[in-house]
Each structure stands twice: as structure tokens, then as C-alpha cells.
Amino acid sequence: MLDPNLLRSNPAELADRLRTARGFELDVPALEALEASRKQIQIRTQELQNLRNTRSKQIGMLKAKGEDVSAVMAEVAGFGEELKASEVELERIRGQIEAIASGIPNLPDASVPAGSDEHGNVEQHRWGSPRVFDFEVKDHVELGARHGWLDGETAAKLSGSRFTVLRGQLARLHRALAQFMLDLHSGEHGYEETNVPVIVNADSMRGTGQLPKFEEDLFSTQLGEHKRYLIPTSEVPLTNIVRDDILDAERLPLRMTAHSMCFRSEAGSGGRDVRGMIRQHQFEKVELVSISKPEESDAEHQRMTLCAEAVLEKLGLPYRRMLLCSGDMGFGATKTFDLEVWLPSQNTYREISSCSNCGDFQARRMQARWRNPATGKPELAHTLNGSGVAVGRALIAVMENYQNADGSIDVPDVLRPYMGGVASIC
């Protein structure tokens, strides 16, 4: 959530920035009308509250003197109903303003290039050279059909479209990738391995910005009066660990990693990547989350991205880093780097990791703060999150980049200890 002062001080200027950078239309007249009503009602509410307090003291003094208080009590009763109604109306208007504020995306950092979509993204660098094959390349679906390793038909019988059953050596390779990533991030990169719930409450989803704007993208469950949500990424529970907390400066940056199931409805993405495992309703990811001091978040963002890049480099997978333009970033991000891995079957790079600095946008929603030793006062922290990386897409990339003419798949060196020393699966 943006600083409320931006909404109050100059909403027209904010609207221009949002329109230019994000293609977002802020209803300024509606916001200004609500803000004017809020100010008017708040002034009257405070007047009535002060009057009540004054009359309460007067009643106490009159009682102490043994004097009649009936007239004053009648006066208090007279404005009591107005005060109650004023407080209710003030809360209603504040709720409307907060609803508008909750739907406004974060503002881009000054270093983010302008652009309306992915065509405005800027390539930062590339690593590795795509392999030249001397045989016809198969995609991951064809490779996975061997021995029924990758089975979409059975998954559709069990759950519907966009689910996958993995079997045998391919399932083990998938598990090996997740274990390798966790060991790397916790053992070498300094992230604390964390196991988190995959079902969270609405407060957690609001804290990281999935609610209220993106509810249609979420899977939810209802038990009695309690509605809960399946996480789209473990960014949600990891980041919300610090919700309503005030952290000591010595704890920052707080770095956490988790391997979890992720669930997304993929609303509005029909017809895109429906073949195989590229875009699933259920998938696994190793997530990276950092909570940092504001002045350190840019450096922490760079560091997090390098940690994700290390996964791909150790796996020997060619990739490129993209700086996303203002119109292609996620809702809560102020700056995002995407890592795109080379997929031979598509002859292009495809996203496998997204690392974002959210500034204080999520922290303001969650009231996640740190105590600045220089002032002794709590201040909003900065939150960052990144894929370190998507396990299913890493599996696809390994399958396609390490395939052989006979359909077998070589196992990257760093994964062999997790595969019992197996050099290839066939």
C-alpha cells in the first residue's frame, strides 16, 4: 500500500504517475470527494468527542458539589446519538478510502524503464551459450512420455486440466532439484530454511497484496465461517511471519527460504502454455524472502538475484536477466529482475525466476517494522521476494537442455549426489 500522504496531498499528480508508469486509472474525483467527507466528519466527530469529555468532567464536578446534573446529562444524551452515528460514518468512509488504496499498485523505482508491456523490458546480461543439437530436439512432454514419467492424462482424471503426475526417475529428478536449491540457499547463501503452511488466512493474503485485487487468481477453502486460501507462492507465509512485528536492527537483513507447493487458478490465461508443465494450477517452488532496512534493500535485491542466478549456473542452464519495465512488473513491486532460461524446443528464453523489491509497500499493509537505533523509533521495513527457482520449470529446462538423441536425459553434475550417483535417466 502506498503512503496515505501521497493520496491526500496531491491525488491528481499521483494519478498522472500511475497512468504513465502503470497504466492504472485512479478515480481522483471519487477519492477527493471521500477525503473531503472524511475531513468534515472527522472534525465534527472530534468536536462531539471533546464536548462529551468536557460534559463528563462537568457532571463529575457537579456531583461532587451535590448539585443537580439532570440538565447536563440530558444534553449529553442529546448529542450522544449524533456522536455514535458520526463515528460509524467516519469508519465507513475510511473503509472506502482504504479499499481504493488497497487496489493501487506500487510506484516504480526511478531506475525502472518506462514501458507498457514485456516489449519494454531491458536485457541486463546473458550467461551460457545454448547447446547446438545434431538431432531433432524433443520438448519436455515428448521426453516425459517415456515410461509414462510425465502423465497429464492421469492427472486430468484425478484433478482436471493443468495438473501433472510425475513418476519414476523423473519424479526423483524433480525432488533432487528442490533439495539442491534448498541446500544451496541455506548452506551457501545464508537463507534460513523454513517450512511454512500452504493454507493461510485473508490477513496474510492482504499483507502481501493478493487480496483484495487478485482473489480470482486464488484457490480457497471454506470450513464453517472460516475462509482460507491456498498460497500462490511461499512468499505469502514467509513475508507475513513479520506482520505486526517490530524487529531489532541486528536481525536485518532477515533472509528466509522455503520449498512449498504453490496453487494458482491462472484466471485469464486460457490458451497459453497449456501443453505440459509450463503453466500449472499446482507446482513447486523454492522461494527467497528478505526483510531489510530501507537503505539496504537495493543491495539486497541485487544479492537475491545473484543467488537465483547461481542455481542456473550450477545447473549449467543458459539464461538471461531482464529488468522489467514499469508496465510489466507485479502489483507490489517497485523493481523486478526476471531470469529467463533457455528452452531448446521453443528456441527462446522463458521465465524461471522473478526477484522483486517491494520497498515499504507490503510492510505498510502488514505493519512490519524495525527499530532504528539512531532514533529509537519503529520504521517500516522493506520486503523482497524471489524465486530461487521454480522447480517444475527447472525440471523442464534440465530435460530439454540435457536430452540425448535416444531420449535419455543426462543428469547435471550437481544433482548426481541427490540421484544416487546416476549419470543419466533413460
Known binding residue 86? Answer is: no
Q: Is 425 annotated as a binding residue?
A: no
Task: Check whether 287 is labelled as a binding-site residue.
Answer: yes
Angle subtended by helix axes 28-64 and 70-102, to nearest 10: 150
Tell me if 286 sits within 8 A of 257, measured CB to CB: yes
Strands (E), 128-185: 150-151, 165-166
Residues marked active site are found at: 264, 279, 351, 354, 393
C-alpha cell at 296: 539496504
233 is in an annotated binding site: yes
Q: Are strands 226-230 and 254-263 parallel, antiparallel or unpaired?
A: unpaired
| Length of the chain measured in residues | 426
Alpha carbons 413 and 416: distance in angstroms, whole number: 5
188 annotated as a binding-site residue: no
The span from the CA of 185 to the CA of 183, in Å, is 6
- Binding site annotation covers 351? yes
d(CA 178, CA 199) in angstroms, rounded, equals 20
235 in a known ligand binding site:
yes
Evaluate the omega torsion of the peptide bond into residue 212 and state whether it is cis, within 30 degrees of 0.
Answer: yes
**Residue 260 is assigned to a ligand binding site:** no
The reply, when asked if residue 266 is annotated as ligand binding, is: yes
Residue that has been written with the C-alpha cell 541485487 in this structure:
302
Binding site annotation covers 387? yes
Q: Nearest-CA neighbor of 240 among 208, 192, 278, 198?
A: 208
What does 179-248 look like in DSSP terms, one character per residue? HHHHHHHHHTS-PEE----SEE-HHHHHHHT-TTTTGGG-EEEEETTEEEEE-SSTHHHHHHTTTT-EEE
- Give, in order, the Cα–Cα distances in Å from 163 to each of 158, 190, 274, 327: 9, 33, 10, 30
Q: Is 70 annotated as a binding residue?
A: no
Distance between CA atoms of residues 87 and 408, nearest Å = 70
CA distance 260 to 91: 39
- Tell me: is residue 153 an annotated ligand-binding position: no
Annotated binding site for ATP: 264-266, 351-354
Q: Which residues are annotated as a binding site?
A: 233-235, 264-266, 287, 351-354, 387
